[in-house]
Amino acid sequence: MSTVQISARIDVRLKKALDEVCRSRGIVMNHFIQEALLDRLEELEDVEDLKAIRHEPTRPLSEVLAELKLRGSV
């Protein structure tokens, strides 16, 4: 995977905390930040998926069970 450099301004206290966590756990800061960004992107994607699911029509449980029974799944 090719890489690029990004720049961001963050609170000095956050930077100190990040330095300390990475140092104490032997984590490379670039890796820590990349994983954190990927996690956040996945969370945002999950939120969008949930919004879409909430608008899907629902069916009564009895209907679903009846359908499963017809297929021999229950």
CB 19 within 8 Å of CB 27: no
Cα–Cα distance between 21 and 16 in angstroms, integer?
9
Of 41, 33, 35, nearest to 10 (Cα)? 33
pTM across the whole model? 0.63
Q: Is the pLDDT confidence value at 67 over 80? A: yes
> From residue 44, how far is each of 4, 20, 40, 49 by CA, in Å?
22, 27, 6, 9
**For 2-51, how does the pLDDT look when each residue is reduced to its tens digit (9 = 90+)?**
999 999 999 999 999 999 999 999 999 999 999 999 999 999 998 888 88
Q: With bands split at pLDDT 50, 70 and 90, how would you rate the model's confidence at 1?
A: confident
Alpha helices in the chain (DSSP H): 12-25, 29-54, 61-71
Domain parsing of the chain, residue ranges: 12-71
